[in-house]
Amino acid sequence: MPEWSPYLAGAGIGVLSWVAFLLSDKPLGVCTAFAKTAGMIERKWTKGASLERPYWKIVPPGIDWQWMVVLGILIGGFLSAWLSGTFMPDLVPDMFAAAFGNSAAFRILTAILGGLLLGFGARMAGGCTSGNGISGGLQLQITSWTAVVCFFVAGIATAMVLYGVVL
């Protein structure tokens, strides 16, 4: 089906969070997996010397269950779109093209820059939208709720500026 019930999807994410806490005693989140990927790359370049960094002593780089969640998100998203018949590769979406032009290089550059900024912000906030919004929110952490409100405000403001939307 092209659209899923937000209630069913939300309940599924909630159950997944319970299972994550039950089996690993860790919150559901993905930004640590990206940090671990950077650590694995750094370990290869430094021939293991980077493992002496204090962060990697606490969070050793490697493929673990959180890394598999990222892989599952990619595979699940693709399968969902493909099975619903809505999969359509589009390097420059219509809305982006209308606002910024049809340059694929510019689209890729902005996607990479946006991803880097998002990753930096997630590390500064102590977690990404899934870590703060789902796991931290379920635990009623005030810092997570504050981060989620900031995510939404910043996302709405950025979209309004980029796409020229005025209230």
pLDDT tens-digit readout, 58-90: 888 999 888 898 899 999 999 999 999 988 888
User: Average model confidence (pLDDT) for the chain?
Assistant: 87
b vs e for 36-72, b when ≥16 Cβ sit within 10 Å of the residue's Cβ?
A: beebeebbeeeeeebeeeeebeeeebeeeebbebbee
- pTM higher than the cut 0.75: no
104-124 and 31-45 helices, crossing angle to 10°: 100
Amino acid found at 19: V
* DSSP at 37: H
The answer on pLDDT for 46 being more than 70 is: yes
Amino acid found at 129: T
Instruction: Supply the pLDDT for residue 27.
Output: 82
> Cα–Cα distance between 128 and 147 in angstroms, integer?
9
Query: For residues 163 and 63, is the Cβ–Cβ distance under 8 A?
Result: no
